[in-house]
Amino acid sequence: MDLHAPLGQERKDKNRGRRRLGPSTVTSALAIASLAGLSVWTALAPTALRTEPPINLTPAPPAPDMVAVSEATESREPTDGPAGIAKSGPNDGAVIRRTTTADGNVVTTFSPNARQGPVVIGASSTQDPRLAGQPNEDLIELTDAGELPAVSASGLRPIDFYARPWSGARGTRIAIVIGGIGLSQTGSQTAIRDLPEDITLAFAATGNSLQRWMQEARRKGHEIVLQVPMEPFDYPANDPGRGTLLSEKAAATNIANLHLAMAQITNYTGIMNYMGARFLSDDKAMDPVMRDIGKRGLMFLDDGSTARSLSGDFAKAIGFPHAYADVMIDAQVDRQAILGKLDELERIARRNGQAIGVGAAFDETIAAVAEWRNEAVARGIEFVGVSALANDNRP
């Protein structure tokens, strides 16, 4: 006790209350200081602690065995994407890219706008199934007769765009064409309802409600062709109907009637004769008609009813797609007879790799074809749209 201190106050010991810093306390303080310094340095550093590799925006080159081919599609609008990818036409909802493989085959990649990823369809730029009942405006010519098929500004043809896709395999292939759609309401309805979608339907230009039946058939997945009435040898006793193309008529008259027939519907891949044995054998009458069909990017399907037909010769000379039927399956409208003709069609297909059969929308024909087709598929036959079996004949 300090006797000299004022009353009530004591002089405190200088060392009382001081804490000595032990080794552990010093270590903790240094650690905290180090972390704080590291945080400040990291925030102020010009570069991050870990460097990410730069993003390469340059597209990868094509595989060594594939060569990209830049080819315009069916759009009249300017291309928006990289080279080789063009914006599609307004009604097809697709982006198309063609690639040539090392062996010369062309593979078309078809990418619907609403889908994720491309779908390989084959050698043609086919229509989006969701819009199959609507025409591609790029493939239409507006005329006094109505909307006629036309090749687009980029060179796309109706036969390419409206064709039914197929596998591209080298197996046995058969196309069956059932005609007379539109001539009978019940027959048309039965054919569209009961026939599998890989059966081609032929619409009679003289039929009724063709636009309605066309849209139903296309939405279901059928490829379609248009039957144009042509003069038979026994005309007018046997009259195919209004607007028949006649060998004795002037070229302008036949072309006008052809255009009236063409304007009845859209979305077809080609023209098929309805009767026409005499007209198909007359070279002077045939010439302007075949040239008009060819320039519109259509095929001509000959029903094979006359051996004197010149359609194949014109197709080769002018350079447009052509197909020739091998068997008329229902010349006798009887179920067993039709099944026998279908068996004959299969024998031809197995011998030649492919075959085309034609018939009409009779109840017996529709039932027999639907039954036989399912059995043939089980035997390894692939059924394709008739355009898949046409000779292109392009120079």
Q: What CATH number is associated with residue 372? A: 3.20.20.370
For residue 1, being part of any structural domain is answered with no
Structural domain includes residue 110: yes
DSSP-derived letter for residue 63 is: P
Q: Where is the domain boundary, 109, 124, 139?
A: 124
Rounded Cα distance between 268 and 262, Å, is: 9
Asked whether residue 89 falls in the same domain as residue 225, the answer is: no
Same domain, 327 and 223: yes
| Phi–psi pair at 36, nearest 5 degrees | -65, -40
Residues 320 and 218 in one domain: yes
Pairing of strands 354-360, 327-328: parallel
Residue 85, C-beta contacts closer than 8 angstroms, at least 6 positions apart? 79, 95, 96, 97
Residues of the chain with pLDDT under 70: 1-126
CA proximity to 182, closest of 261, 238, 253, 259: 261
DSSP character at residue 164: P
Residues 174 and 243 in one domain: yes
Q: Could you tell me the residue range of the domain that residue 107 belongs to?
A: 66-124
Q: What is the pLDDT of residue 17?
A: 45
Instruction: Confirm whether 156 is domain-assigned.
Output: no
* Nearest residue to 265 (alpha-carbon basis) of 186, 173, 202, 179: 202
Q: Report the distance separating Cα 14 and Cα 94, nearest Å.
A: 91
Q: Are residues 177 and 115 in the same domain?
A: no
Strand stretches in the chain, DSSP E = 66-69, 86-87, 94-101, 106-112, 119-122, 140-143, 146-149, 173-181, 200-204, 224-230, 270-275, 299-302, 322-324, 327-328, 354-360, 382-383
Say if residue 172 is in the same domain as residue 307. Answer: yes
- Is position 9 within any domain? no
Rounded to the nearest 10 degrees, how much is the dihedral formed by the CA atoms of 341, 342, 343, 344?
50
Same domain, yes or no: 189 and 80: no
**Distance in angstroms (rounded) separating the CA atoms of residues 151 and 327:** 31
d(CA 224, CA 175): 12
Provide Rg for the chain, Cα atoms. Answer: 37
- Alpha carbon dihedral 57, 62, 67, 69, in 10-degree steps, equals -30
Q: Which two structure tokens, joined as six digits, stand for 85? A: 């990818």
Nearest to 268 by CA among 188, 208, 345, 181: 181
**Residue 363: burial class (beta carbons within 10 Å; 0-12, 13-18, 19+):** middle
**The pLDDT value given to residue 130:** 79
What pLDDT was estimated at residue 166?
A: 95
Short-list 145, 157, 152, CA closest to 299: 157
Query: What per-residue confidence (pLDDT) applies to 36?
Result: 56
Residues 340 and 194 in one domain: yes
* End-to-end CA, the chain: 126
**Closest to 369 (Cα-Cα) out of 331, 324, 338:** 338
Query: Do 161 and 126 contact (CB within 8 A), yes or no?
Result: yes
pLDDT for residue 127? 72
Q: How far apart are CA 306 and CA 191, in angstroms?
A: 26
Give the pairing type, strands 140-143 and 106-112.
unpaired
The closest of 287, 301, 318, 288 to 357, measured between CA atoms, is 301
Q: Is 150 within a domain?
A: no
At residue 44, the pLDDT reads 52
Q: What is the DSSP letter of 355?
A: E
Specify whether 226 is located in the same domain as 302. yes
Helix (H) or strand (E) holding 255: helix 251-262
Q: Are residues 198 and 309 in the same domain?
A: yes
Name the domain count of the chain. Answer: 2
